[in-house]
Structure 1
């Protein structure tokens, strides 16, 4: 018998009966291999039973959080740890982030081939107390030392503190030159657009994206041996392609474009330098669509481009909905998907962030997840959606 439930419309709140497709997700082949590096920025599972002030303090269910990372590794995906998807800067503080990094690195040692790269930033600094670029440098140095002491590789996250005190491109050049000279291993840089974090407006010293890109590319060119790649999250595929084509040989573009990732990963074959014609991936949406992402990347590695798009294409409307403005609230949709699919037993988030999306938004997310064949246990997903509906006064 087909599963159905009553859902509010995306606009207006009118109720209508929805019948699920209920198709099983596409799963990757056993021992799947990729010809792209693919990191999933992974979410954290909150501890809903902790006696804390949820807007002010973070409590993490460590077993469930690390268990989710083991699932990602089993699907062949790397883990980009303690990034914005883990609510870094939106509920997850630096001490908890460092503990998360430590636990993730420890768990990865038991998984052959597991990839982990960890977010390094300046979020432990009190912004009102940051007076100079030197303060920013000291902040980065502190987190770099702590992560590298654990044996971690770095993702150098964009800094709200730097955006606050920098007076122009030269200040960014100074900070990043220092970071890259100090790094023990090649790092991934991260350019996070203001749609993800309004405090990062004008990053790289200019509100003009092309000028900002010139500054970032200059920093990379001057330190190419210390840069594994750059992840840009601007939600503009043309900007990403333009920058990708200008990167030094061997420096990767990690797409952070949760609107256009399928075509950016597939690539355009531009030029003789392999990294100029395609993007690798470091994506928050891969947390929510992990089985499909793994299966699609496996097909791409086998040269099956059409099958790659057949699997990954239907996930794009879901991702665009999850990352719709205000984009910084996308984490709610990622955790909602984990709850619907039974990867955690509650819909509670660090910082109380489950409240950032409306019921109609979540109902549309449910429909799009079903359309993309991403509901792993449809019976469970329906029961959990009905629970949420009942909490909002809609009895099915």
Structure 2
């Protein structure tokens, strides 16, 4: 076993760390207060190669893999969980999925823009009554001969109302169950019959835009079907196993960031004549945070390594996502307690870490869904897949 990062990986990690410190942190609090999303920052991240991982060079890939994506996303999330989201919206979601299942024309048209960060991506699965049970979705598309006509709605879609091109999952033949679901590449800003609006009533992730789609007869060209009609559920499940590692990396970042500021504050804050870091109760809290963070880090890195080596990893990815998400929530909670009253104040970052951490127990499969996946594979009921 080799636990050391390569020199190149350390340089990539440092690039992301410096980007977060120099280009996100200085204005983050003001942007959080305004719920501000900056497309120019996404393009800047793209220019630095943040969205180029696990992709072929002819589509903008850099030769880097999942491990490098995890390392970069982790460093960004140590400063801002909101700004970890573009890794999924650009690279691990749309770009990787179209690269695997798309035609040559689809890849050429869409993937380079997602990689460059100049074309904002998204993937639309969730509906008002469809979350963990993806197969229960109501959105459907009707075959009109030379195009598909989409009706229905999606909600809680990251980058929905700012997105240029992304993935849509809808039924094309409900009689076939989940084998009647189809994946489409859509351009909501360019096509009639699609309305998008922002959702701003969120607990956290204030700088990560979230919205909903309403489809009223949106026409999708036949050439924008991803894979074949009926492949949608299979594609969706494959995609979730890729975006899940991005969430796990984000959780690592949140847990690590909460630990960082908790340690700093504990060393600075004095009570009963000494820094609170010298009191056993505080030491116990910090020890728990540190152990859970390191354990989750090993699990996430292992899942990324399996992906990069083409080995079955669905089990390990779910283990990593579950462990890291729970570690992030616990770390953020302990951080707030260490800060005391200041942890409850919006003037300090502890409360932001707490709010942002909660999303990680929900997105890309809730913690309960991860338990179902993990237990199914642990008991041999379902196989481990790539």
TM-score of the superposed pair, with normalisation by structure 1: 0.28
More helix by share: 2
Higher RCO (CA < 8 A, seq sep 6+):
1
